[in-house]
Structure 1
Amino acid sequence: MSHQAHNIPWNVFGSNLKFRTKIPCADDATSLHFRFKPTQGKELTYFVDTFTRNVHEHADSERRKYPEAYEVPGLDDIVLDDSLTRKMTHAVRLWRSERRDKLGEVDEKPTTELCHHSEPDQRCRCPLSYNQRRMGSFFHKYRWSDCYKFFDDHKDGYISLEVFKTLLMHGEMDTLLKICAHPGVGFPSWWDARLCSCYPPDLGRDYLENALDAYLVLNIFLSSFPKSWAPGRSLDQDYRRTRIYQMMILRVTGTRQASELATHPHRQVFGIARGQLNSYSGFKYPMTTKRQDKFCGTDQPYGRLTYEEFLESQKTIDFLPSVSDVLHVRWILCEKGLPGEIAQLILDKALYKPQRRLKVPHDPLHPENIEELNKYLKFCWQVLVRSEVVARETGMNIPWKDLVSESTDRLLGCSCRKLLGRGEPPNDDLLWFK
């Protein structure tokens, strides 16, 4: 069942789409395509309006869980207490280590140890420094940077932004609301931030757009195209080989130049390792791919490869263990006579830890994955709702209607869609969907 099915008219959106195995205006890809019904405009507007209203209503409900007003923290007040800092250390260390080229090396100290560098110290290699836990660290405001100058100008502000996003994605709303109580918080200025003109302006909202893209795509398939994920489906009807699904997967899991924090929860669910897909490089087809000649020179073959070929289009698939895989290996070591503590130490040294959430990998809509799928859809929805709550606290107005429309265009866009965007009807050659 699709998430928020009783509140959001997924069937209205889905009724305006058709599953096509070869779409001429989308490079002959397999995907979903608009039917262009006479009522399409009104129905999609109704969907977007209802979606937006539900985000607002859930944000109202979420905000009522916390105090109506917070005392404005002082510049030197610690807003990230010791307990929360320990809780966040692993996540912060992960995204900091991914950008160690710009942010510096990070110590692999235990999460129970906290930073005690109370004064700015260039030698501090703690994942979350003492100064970054102060209210003043969230005052950094974004300003334009020339190419290759972003981290020179914004290193501290970038770290504070990523900490802010980490708090939101982990649901630490009480702390976020305390931070947002100060009128000097700089988060709103980062909404359209970018590394430079070479990159999209999404550094301050990539986490939100990822959650929105995944939420829309999965719910559309769940609600309106059950044959695409039913057991025994044909390869041509598999939702995973569609252009819309493969574009979404690359977008929410692909390695990025700016920030990879927004990809972490999505990689765990979709079973994609860091570096498996790169959103800023072209596709390279393995020599074993039978269809290599057909797609030679194609940069973005979404919907024209099987899902397995798509995943290996840049790199051979890495194996990511699930919780059950790790427990099984631990059981084997204990069966060999090793104490549990030694078995766990071996697993830790081997970095053999859960990295995949789904029981059946690479197929989130598989019936055996329903529990994890529901958790994931709930997480995506909560990210949207929390974003609205935080935006209100900082005086921002998130343009939800624009975001949903942009996501739809990004995932379902094609040449005839662009023609319609200019008010021109598609010609007869494009009306294969009649």
Structure 2
Amino acid sequence: MHQSHNIAWDSLTSNLTFIAENPALTPRRTDFFPRGLPSQANSLNHFARTVATTIRTFSDTERAKYPTKFDAPVEGKLFPDSILKLNRALDRVGGANTVVDLADVVKVLLAENQLDQLLMLAHHPSIPLVHLHRLSGGHGFGWERVIDAYIFFNVLLSKPELHADGWYKSMQSYKYMLINSTDYDAWTFPHCKFFFGVVDSGGNRESADPLADFNKLHEHLKMCFQLLYRYDMLARECGVDLDWESEVAATVGWMWKVKLGGST
């Protein structure tokens, strides 16, 4: 599992059990379910803290690589030509035509590790990056899907008995995670090449086999983690202090109905 020396994955995985067609539910559902152990609350809170601490540590290390101050251009091109080639959404943001276009730009630059450009935007008086954190239009806008995939696949790696014959594909949380990670261009950028071998979102979800190549999966998890700490760095540059413990709680809550407060 990724960052296993820093993140207490066992504190989460030991509290989950796989049940096929759970008879306690109507309709029945196949997935991981909380075991309801007496230690659940403490274990899951510990897990969330280690995720938050690890993201913040890497975020601090990444920020230290760049100057403390950035001078934003007030005229001329906002992005150099080499950056404009990355994604067509960048062409639409001269003075930020729409916040959705700007959100697309941020995702592309995060994925391409163009952090100097993002730090410049964070200090630009005409670019409202701070307003993008909770931008929504009926969907999440990207980074939430990264933490979903990051947690899901790390937990799945701890359950090798589900790898054979594609058992994991019957899990409701897998189906939701796959749909949420690949249903719109803006946030499919980091995921579609991994799932489908292509950058756009035109892949066949039924044919996706994320466990076919474990080296590729580990690289994907590494990339997801990079996106999380890069995003944390950028958010803090904009004055937004992310509550990663709450984000982790929300993720395990919607995927597996586990509450870090102790109830299930």
TM-score in terms of structure 1 length: 0.55
Q: Could you tell which deviates more after superposition, 239-248 or 18-27?
A: 18-27
State the one-letter code of the partner of 1:398.
L
- Report the AA paired with residue 256 of structure 2: L
- Pairing partner for 1:364 from 210, 215, 219: 210
Aligned position for 1:19:
18
Identity %: 28
Aligned to 2:241: 397
| 1:221–1:61 CA distance, 2 compared to 1 (3 A) | same
1:245 corresponds to which residue? 174
Counterpart residue type for residue 118 of structure 2:
L
1:375 is displaced (CA, Å) by 1.6
RMSD: 2.6
Higher RCO (CA < 8 A, seq sep 6+): 2
Q: Supply the distance in 1 between the matched residues of 2:190 and 2:26 (Cα, whole angstroms).
A: 30
**Cα separation, partners in 2 of 1:244 and 1:228, compared to 1, 3 Å:** same
Alignment deviations for residues 251-281 of structure 1 (CA, whole Å, 9 cap, x no partner): 1112x4xxx220133122112873668xxxx
Q: Does 1:214 align with 2:149?
A: yes
Q: What is the number of residues matched between the two proteins? A: 261
Q: Distance in 1 between matches of 2:20 and 2:100?
A: 43
Shift of 1:234: 5.4
In 2, distance between residues paired with 1:26 and 1:6? 39
Alignment partner of 2:254 out of 395, 410, 417: 410
* Partner Cα separation in structure 2 for residue 184 and residue 264 of structure 1: 26
TM-score normalised according to structure 2 size: 0.88
1:226 equivalent in structure 2: 160
- The superposition leaves residues 57-98 of structure 1 with CA deviations (integer Å, 9 ceiling, x where unpaired) of 000111111122222x24325331122223x1xx32xxx6xx
Cross-structure match for 1:159: 101
- Corresponding letter in the other structure for 1:176: L
Is 1:170 the counterpart of 2:112? The answer is yes
Structure 1 unaligned spans of 5+: 97-126, 139-154, 278-310, 318-361, 427-434
Aligned-partner residue type, residue 4 of structure 1? Q
Q: 1:163-216 CA distances to partner (integer Å, 9 max, x unpaired)?
A: 122111211001111221235531111222233xxx25x3xxx22111110000
Amino acid of the residue matched to residue 268 of structure 1? K
Q: 1:161–1:247: structure 2 CA closer, same or farther, 3 Å change rule?
A: closer
1:285-325 CA deviation, whole Å, 9 max, x = no partner? xxxxxxxxxxxxxxxxxxxxxxxxxx45xxxx6xxxxxxxx
Rounded to whole Å, the distance in 2 between the matches of 1:157 and 1:53 is 30
User: Are 2:128 and 1:128 aligned?
Assistant: no
Q: Secondary structure at the match of 2:20?
A: strand
Secondary structure at the aligned position of 1:37 is classed as coil
In structure 1, what is the Cα distance between the partners aligned to 2:26 and 2:160? 23
The counterpart of 2:194, out of the listed 269, 272, 283, is 269
Kept after mapping to 1: 8 A contact 2:188/2:201? no
Aligned partners of 1:79 and 1:178 also within 8 Å = no
Alignment of 1:300-339 (within 5 A): 311=205
Larger radius of gyration: 1
In 2, the alpha carbon distance for the partners of 1:77 and 1:386 equals 27
